[in-house]
Amino acid sequence: MAGSPIPEPASAPIAVPATHERYRTTPAPSSMLREKRPSPSAAIAQDSSTTSCACTSLDHRDPVRYGATEIPIGAYRAFRSSAAVTAAAIVPPSRSTETDANCAEPANVVADITIGASHPKPTARAITPNETPNPATATASGPTARAPSRKVRSAMNNGSNLPATVRRSGAAGTVPAVDVPFRLVDVFAPRPLAGNQLCVVPEPVDLDDATMQALAKEIGFSETTFVTEIGDDRYAMRIFTPASELPFAGHPTLGTAFVLVSEGRVSSPATQVVAAGEIPVEVDLDAGTAWMTQLPPVFGPVFEDRELMARAIGLEVGDLDPDLPVRTVSTGLPPTIVPLRDAETLRMAVRNAAVVADAVAASGAEDLYLFAIGEGGVTARMFDAGMVNGEDPATGSAAGPLGAYLADLGLAGMPGSIVIRQGEQVGRPSELHVEARRENDGWRVRVGGAVHVVGRGTFEL
């Protein structure tokens, strides 16, 4: 399913780091990387800053958006510091017009959500940003007609093609407000309500860092994405967990690409711009799938402390495959690959949270990606270092590195293509398709899977 090379647009390309080995920290001139605004709420900033970065000696600023030093990939953890701390400490003044009321404590965040697949096929619909039909004007047919839905809170939009800006009454009085449309998506999912959950804000909305972080915490999924700029075949986005911002992640890349293509906002193939670099993406609406070409894999040193790794996953040293190395591999975000003897041993693994954090820090990774090769193919589990995910149902940013690891060792039919199964232990079965083929002196890694849009709604801020 490899697509044709991504053509560069006639206008100036989006400025990003050339590779993911080092993040460039000089400000990018492109408008694709939007200027940040001061936090609208000190309370949100304080709440968002509760999760801090372990590498406190490093520069805690977004490497793409601020000039200072260059941050090597091994120190990526500096990028995961709280967005609120960044916003409060070093965000330059906004050129937009703001009032004291606009920066006051926001009213309650309310989401108008529709869950289900009752809407027509994406290719048959014309989408507007605020797409909940107005009951007073909706007809029985047409691009915005939909079956009645269950809602957390009923609301009507203003019929505009832009986010609705109104005035709402809250604890701080009547203040300007904005509607933020979102989509709920399942990625790497063989069926709806499986795979890994994602919230996508598919259109640029003028939100500051602290508000993005607060919305990610509000929705509570492992990641929420915010599209910040859109072109014909290029778009930029930011990725937030409930605790911090990420430079790259797998299922947010595929889920966001699928939403944008299905709604006609970008064409396919396209180029996604994130802090880690440029990621080519392809969407097949008929097949209901999305693919990404990840950054060239970077292999870290073999991790020798197998006793620490075994304790982190609740096993004995003998449960690790004695013939295969434990090592970190990155195609944008580095997991530590941990080979186990067999699928039964993999099922017996138990996440020891405190020791997982130690093992992740010692190996220079983001998380632990356990795998076993059996008659049914490759099965994997991801143990997160913090308490945000615990165990992830599908991890595209780790599946690519595992594909490169297997290809480099000639295992499981690699180089070539495999299907990695993940998520059974957390009740969200997932299938991650991985290709790894030799390219020059390295590997070209592609990761794909099925995507289902299962809900949509609006945050009212």
The C-alpha atoms of residue 40 and residue 103 are separated, in whole angstroms, by 4
The C-alpha atoms of residue 268 and residue 67 are separated, in whole angstroms, by 33
The C-alpha atoms of residue 381 and residue 434 are separated, in whole angstroms, by 15
Where is 335: in which H helix or E strand? strand 335-339
- Of 223, 228, 236, the C-alpha closest to 281 is 236
Where is 379: in which H helix or E strand? strand 377-384
- Of 396, 6, 328, the C-alpha closest to 189 is 396
The C-alpha atoms of residue 461 and residue 429 are separated, in whole angstroms, by 34
Q: ω before 429 within 30° of 0 (cis)?
A: no
- Render 385-426 in DSSP notation, one character per residue: SSTTTSEES--HHHHHHHHHHHHHHT-TT-SEEEEEEE-GGG
Active site residue 70: no
> Pick the catalytic residue: 203, 223, 391, 435?
223
- Of 55, 68, 83, 56, the C-alpha closest to 24 is 68
Angle ∠(234,447,65) on CA atoms, nearest 5: 40
For residue 25, the Cα-to-chain-centroid distance in whole angstroms is: 21
Contact of 454 with 186, CB cutoff 8 Å:
yes
- Render 423-438 in DSSP notation, one character per residue: -GGGT--EEEEEEEEE
- Render 267-323 in DSSP notation, one character per residue: -SSEEEEETTEEEEEEEETTTTEEEEEPPPPEEEEEP--HHHHHHHTT--GGGB-TT
In total, the chain counts a number of residues equal to 461
Query: Looking at the annotation, which residues are catalytic?
Result: 223
